[in-house]
Chain A
Amino acid sequence: MEEQETMNKTLPLAKKQKINDSEYRLVDLNVDTISLNLTKHCLCQLPETCMLKEVFRVSNVSSWSKERLLNFLSSARLTCDIALKQQSEGTICTSVERLSNYLISNKTGIVNEVVSLLTRTDPYISYAASNALAEIFVCSQNKIDNVWVEELTDLFLRRSPETLCPVISVFKRVLCWRDSQMNDNEKNIKMPENCVSRKVIFEDDEIEMDDEFGISLVKTKVIEVLQTQWQLIVLKFIRYMSSFDHCTDLNTEQFTHKMGHIAIIEFIKLWTSMVSIKTNLNVMNIKYFYADLGQMLILLRRPKVQPVVWKNIINLFNESLCYTTTLAVQGTMQEEPCMLARELVKVVKTKNMLNNMPFRKGPGEFGGGEEDEGDKKLLQDTVLLILKAVATIIKETRNESSSSDSSSDESEDSEEIDAEMAIIESSVNEVLRKLDACVKKCMSYLPETQIAQWIVQLFSDRNDVLIESMICTIDISLVLCYRRNSLPMLRQVLNPTASLVEFLQTLSYNNDLNEIILDLLLGSDTSFLLYIMRILKFICNRWSEFCLCCDTKLQSTMATLMGLQTSLDQLIKNNLTPYNLNPVLRLLVKCNNLYSGIAVINI
Chain B
Amino acid sequence: MYAVIQLDSENHRLRPKRVKMEFVCKYCNRTFNKHYSLLIHERNHLPTVNYRCEMCYKSFKRQDSLQQHRSTHSPNYRAGYALQL
Contacts and interface: CB of A to CB of B under 8 A. Distances in A.
A331 B33 contact: yes
B28 A576 contact: no
Interface stretch (A104-112, A300-308, A481-489, A521-529): A521-529
Given A280-B27, A283-B29, A326-B30, A522 B61 contact: yes
B72 to A, nearest CB: 17
A280 B28 contact: yes
A210 B39 CA distance: 17
A574 B64 CA distance: 9
Contacts, number: 79
B39 A579 contact: yes
A281 B28 CA distance: 6
Contact of A325 (B31, B41, B48, B52): B41
B43 to A, nearest CB: 5
Contacts of B32: 329-331
Given A519-B62, A522-B62, A278 B40 contact: no
A504 B30 CA distance: 34
A278 B44 contact: yes
Contact of B62 (A280, A329, A518): A518
A332 B20 CA distance: 12
Secondary structure call for the B interface: loop
A60 B37 CA distance: 55
Contacts of A178: 47
Contacts of B47: 178, 524
Secondary structure call for the A interface: loop
Contacts of A518: 62
A55 to B, nearest CB: 34
Interface residues of B, number: 28
A283 B64 contact: no
Contacts of B33: 330-332
A579 B64 contact: no
B43 A529 contact: yes
A1 interface: no
A519 B43 CA distance: 14
A519 B29 CA distance: 29
B55 to A, nearest CB: 15
A195 interface: no
A597 interface: no
Q: Most chain-A Cβ atoms within 10 A of its Cβ — which of B29, B32, B34, B64?
A: B64
B67 A524 contact: no
Nearest to B62: A522
A530 interface: yes
Contacts of A277: 28, 44-45
A284 B27 CA distance: 12
Contact of B39 (A209, A334, A580): A580
Nearest to A216: B27
B36 interface: yes
A571 interface: yes
Nearest to A567: B64
A578 interface: yes
A583 B41 CA distance: 15
Nearest to B64: A576
Nearest to A570: B64
B71 interface: no
B28 A524 contact: no
Contacts of B52: 184
Nearest to A178: B47
A282 interface: yes
B36 A278 contact: no
A278 B30 contact: no
Contacts of B29: 282-284
A574 B40 CA distance: 22
Contacts of A579: 39, 43
A35 B68 CA distance: 45
Interface string A546-576: 0000000000000000000000000100101
A330 B44 CA distance: 14
Contact of A576 (B48, B61, B67): B67
Interface in A155-184: 178, 184
Contacts of B62: 518-519, 522-523, 576
B64 A524 contact: no
Interface string B8-35: 0000000000000000001111111110
B28 A278 contact: no
B31 A330 contact: yes
Interface in A181-227: 184, 209-210
B43 A283 contact: no
Nearest to A574: B64
B26 A529 contact: no
A277 B49 CA distance: 17
B36 to A, nearest CB: 6
Nearest 7 A-B pairs (CB), nearest first? A331-B33, A329-B37, A325-B44, A280-B27, A524-B43, A576-B63, A576-B64
23 contacts: A277-B44, A277-B45, A280-B28, A282-B29, A283-B28, A283-B29, A283-B30, A325-B44, A326-B44, A329-B40, A331-B33, A332-B31, A522-B61, A523-B48, A523-B62, A524-B44, A524-B46, A529-B40, A574-B64, A576-B63, A578-B63, A579-B43, A580-B39
Given A329-B40, A332-B33, 7 more contacts: A277-B45, A326-B41, A334-B30, A522-B62, A524-B43, A571-B64, A578-B63
Interface of B: 26-34, 36-41, 43-49, 52, 61-64, 67
Interface of A: 178, 184, 209-210, 277-278, 280-284, 325-326, 329-332, 334, 518-519, 522-525, 527, 529-530, 533, 571, 574, 576, 578-580, 583
